[in-house]
Amino acid sequence: MSHDRLQAELLEDRNEIKRLKGGASTSTTPIVHKDLSLISVIPKRSGSDDTVTLEEFLESIESSGRIGRWTENDQREVPVLKLTGSAKLFYQFVMNSMNREQPGNYLRKLLGSGTGMSTRTSTTLRN
């Protein structure tokens, strides 16, 4: 290639870079991506013979959701994917027996007010 042609291509490339940089800086809304791969770090929960306590299970969901920028809906739906065995059967029973919008209230009625559930657990169930 000739020297003039290389100079012309270099100038075109520089102009393209300036244009691309200018377009990126004019955007006022930052692009935020959620990371659903963090679902894999949440342990499965069967409800019996679990090596992970309920508190640890809920904390792993909350921290993964915070780090992964999950929506509130993601944080409600992801735990269902991690239920197995009797925990999954219990969840399905509850969801079939109540208004889906208020699971915490239904569980409190089902289990009674003297269940000994922690404040954090009952707060999570309300959501």
pLDDT per residue over 60-88, tens digit each?
999 999 999 999 889 889 989 999 888 88
- Give the bridge partners for 45, in sequence order: 83
Q: At 73, which amino acid appears? A: N
Identify the band that residue 123 occupies on the pLDDT scale cut at 50, 70 and 90.
very low
For the chain, domain boundaries:
36-126
Q: At 22, which amino acid appears? A: G
CB 72 within 8 A of CB 106: no
Task: Please say if the pLDDT value at position 49 is more than 50.
Answer: yes
The residue that leads in pLDDT, 54 or 117, is 54
Stated pTM of the model: 0.51
Rg of the chain over CA atoms, in angstroms? 25
Nearest to 74 by CA among 99, 42, 112, 47: 42
Q: At 98, which amino acid appears? A: M
Question: What phi and psi, each to the nearest 5 degrees, are found at residue 21?
Answer: -65, -40
Rounded to an integer, the average pLDDT of 83-95 is 86
Identify the band that residue 116 occupies on the pLDDT scale cut at 50, 70 and 90.
very low
Lowest mean per-residue pLDDT among 23-32, 47-56, 83-92: 23-32
